[in-house]
Amino acid sequence: MTLTLKVENTGPDPVSELSFTFPEHQAKNLALLVAVSTEGRGKNRGSATNLPIKVNQPDNSPPSLIWYHASLPKELAKGESLNIDALAVFTHTLRPFPEKITQAEAQLFLLQDSAHFTSPYKVKYQSLTVKLPSESVESYTKLENTKFSGSEIKYGPYENIPGFSYVPVIVHFPSNKPFAVAKELVREIEISHWGNVQVTEHYEVVHGGAQSTGEFSRLDFQARPHVRGASAFRNLIAMLPPRAHSIYYRDAIGNISTSNIYADSSKTLLEIEPRYPMFGGWKTSFTIGYGLPLRDYLFQSAGTRFLNFTFGSPMNDVLVENLTLKVVLPEGSKDISVSVPFPVKQSQETTFSHLDIAGRPTIVIEKANVIPEHNQYFQVHYKFSNLSLLTEPLMLIFGFFSLFVAGIIYMHADFTISKSSASYLAKQQWDEVLGTLQQLVDIINKCLVLHDKLEASLRELSRTGDVQACKAVRKSADGLLKDLSKDSKSLLAVLQSSPQAAHILPKVEELVVKERDLQEKIMLKHTTVIDSYEKKSAGRDIENRVASIQQKITSLKQEVDDLLEFVEDI
């Protein structure tokens, strides 16, 4: 809504403020209100002065009106007049009607407003022009002084209207303009003092027009997109700075290659095409990113640096319901201040990326209802020591240095298992156990050889009847077996004291016990047989006497053999 006013002070006192009033339902969607005062008209128009505006409800206000007060550049004395131009932008003001349409139907909107300028002041002379997007109109309120021509509906002129006058008018008209609304936009601007500004923008876009009902046919749409999908939009255009580079566009699935870039010396146009045409109520999320040369946006003055960057979305004709703007400054930035030409919510956080120690100071600016008119420049001032710039390279240099030193150490180091390490000690102890075990097995084998010798001496005895020779064999074997048994006892003691041998110890002990048992039984047999020979017993008697012993010997031999096999396999 553009307002062109000529105001005159008809009262006795000078005035310093001009008030605008809007009905509450309009005011709650007011995205922007600016007023400028200009000297002269037409060709003699002088320079414009932006008027500061503040919101303040006077006590005597009629209900459901919101007041905005613009401070005049100089007091208006009695009888003096002044030209004021104002621009008010409202969002969510056009209501789709019907609210739901099919793929083939056109989209229609309702505009509700007042034919009279709703002002706290008496209006001497006023007219209203409604400019439609096209020459067609479905219907409009016809008052006595109404004219429709081309794509404009003109109400008025009206003369001498009292203050707070409200005459409702409704205009119902078709519009198939893309109705793109970004429910959320997160813009991240990351400054690298190495020469780059990286911009990343995450969008959640919805078609904010009439809801699409019925089935969607892509075939119909592709055959006749202007009829079967007139209200849909297929692409969005982002106007990026001329020197944007490394541009990408992707959504949750990945890179979208159906985007186009048109660049000339004054701008870079990025045409992005979602994966499907956008009908009323349909949503899509995507991310675009691009790099910019730092020197175009970062400047220095009086010891501080400042970023001078555009505020809103680079997309044409997109309303941003919630904008979050993050400016990520280099690590080590200090004394940060922000200046935005309109009120915003501001906070600060810290962003971490690789190689950061303290994190990067990040300015977070939030604003609701952001329109293309908000695409103004804002500034972030901060102090930064060039020494901080060296932190990361120094870290890298140190990092690589450490890596190489580690490499050198590695090359020269002896990586055989350290003599003091636990695993080395464990291995050593186990080797000792195995050694001891081998000695023990050797001893048992020697014993078994002696057993065989004793048995052989008995067979010799039965052949020759030489008791003395047999006794001699027995005597020498006895002595040897005693020595071996002493040795085996001490070896067993070694094994019993080693924790590493605990799990094999029962079998080893059993082997030693069984061998001794076998030895005893063989001795017993030997004694019995010799005894019998000395008593000159008959061969059959001898056999009878030793039969039970022989049985035990046979089974013990088997057991000793089995155990020995087991122990040798360890």
Ligand X SMILES: *[C@@H]1O[C@H](CO)[C@@H](O)[C@H](O)[C@H]1NC(C)=O
Positions touching ligand X (CB under 6 A) are 255, 257, 259, 308, 377, 379
Q: Which is nearest to 272 in space by CA: 246, 242, 250, 254?
A: 250
Q: Round to whole Å and give the CA distance between 186 and 566.
A: 74
Give Cβ neighbours of residue 115 (< 8 Å, ≥ 6 apart): 128, 141, 143, 155, 156, 158, 167, 168, 169
Q: Round to whole Å and give the CA distance between 377 and 392.
A: 31
Nearer to ligand X, 166 or 377 (CB): 377
Nearer to ligand X, 171 or 344 (CB): 344
Least Cβ distance, residue 266 to ligand X (angstroms): 12
Cα 269 from chain centroid? 29
Query: What's the N-to-C CA distance of the chain in angstroms?
Result: 97
Question: How many helices (H) and strands (E) are present in the chain, helices listed first?
Answer: 8, 30
Q: Which is nearest to 194 in space by CA: 336, 355, 337?
A: 355
Nearer to ligand X, 297 or 384 (CB): 297
Nearest-10 crossing angle of helices 422-464, 467-497: 170
Least Cβ distance, residue 312 to ligand X (angstroms): 14
| Strand extents, DSSP E, 193-303 | 196-207, 211-212, 236-240, 245-251, 260-263, 268-272, 283-293, 298-301
Nearer to ligand X, 240 or 560 (CB): 240
The answer to whether residues 250 and 274 touch, using CB atoms and an 8 Å cutoff, is no
Least Cβ distance, residue 301 to ligand X (angstroms): 9
Residue 324 Cα distances to 13, 206, 312, angstroms: 45, 17, 10
Nearer to ligand X, 179 or 297 (CB): 297
Q: Over the Cα atoms of the chain, what is R_g?
A: 51
Least Cβ distance, residue 262 to ligand X (angstroms): 13
Give Cβ neighbours of residue 11 (< 8 Å, ≥ 6 apart): 78
Least Cβ distance, residue 270 to ligand X (angstroms): 9
Nearer to ligand X, 3 or 237 (CB): 237
Nearer to ligand X, 60 or 255 (CB): 255
Least Cβ distance, residue 215 to ligand X (angstroms): 31
Nearer to ligand X, 57 or 255 (CB): 255
The answer to whether residues 328 and 189 touch, using CB atoms and an 8 Å cutoff, is yes
Q: Which is nearest to 147 in space by CA: 169, 172, 160, 129?
A: 129
Least Cβ distance, residue 32 to ligand X (angstroms): 19
The answer to whether residues 498 and 491 touch, using CB atoms and an 8 Å cutoff, is no
Least Cβ distance, residue 78 to ligand X (angstroms): 39
Nearer to ligand X, 129 or 308 (CB): 308
Q: Round to whole Å and give the CA distance between 159 and 164.
A: 14
| Pairing verdict, β 304-310 and 377-383 | antiparallel
Nearer to ligand X, 118 or 259 (CB): 259
Nearer to ligand X, 69 or 250 (CB): 250
Q: Round to whole Å and give the CA distance between 88 and 83.
A: 17
Least Cβ distance, residue 259 to ligand X (angstroms): 4
Nearer to ligand X, 146 or 200 (CB): 200
What is the chain's length? 570
Q: Round to whole Å and give the CA distance between 107 and 95.
A: 10
The answer to whether residues 223 and 267 touch, using CB atoms and an 8 Å cutoff, is no
Least Cβ distance, residue 309 to ligand X (angstroms): 8
Least Cβ distance, residue 377 to ligand X (angstroms): 4
Least Cβ distance, residue 310 to ligand X (angstroms): 8
CB burial readout 533-556, b (16+ within 10 A) else e: beeebeeeebeebbeebeebbeeb
∠ CA 170-174-176, nearest 5°, is: 135
Least Cβ distance, residue 379 to ligand X (angstroms): 5
Least Cβ distance, residue 378 to ligand X (angstroms): 9
DSSP code for 503: T
Give Cβ neighbours of residue 360 (< 8 Å, ≥ 6 apart): 190, 328, 329, 330, 331, 333, 350, 351, 352, 353
Nearer to ligand X, 288 or 461 (CB): 288
Nearer to ligand X, 56 or 260 (CB): 260
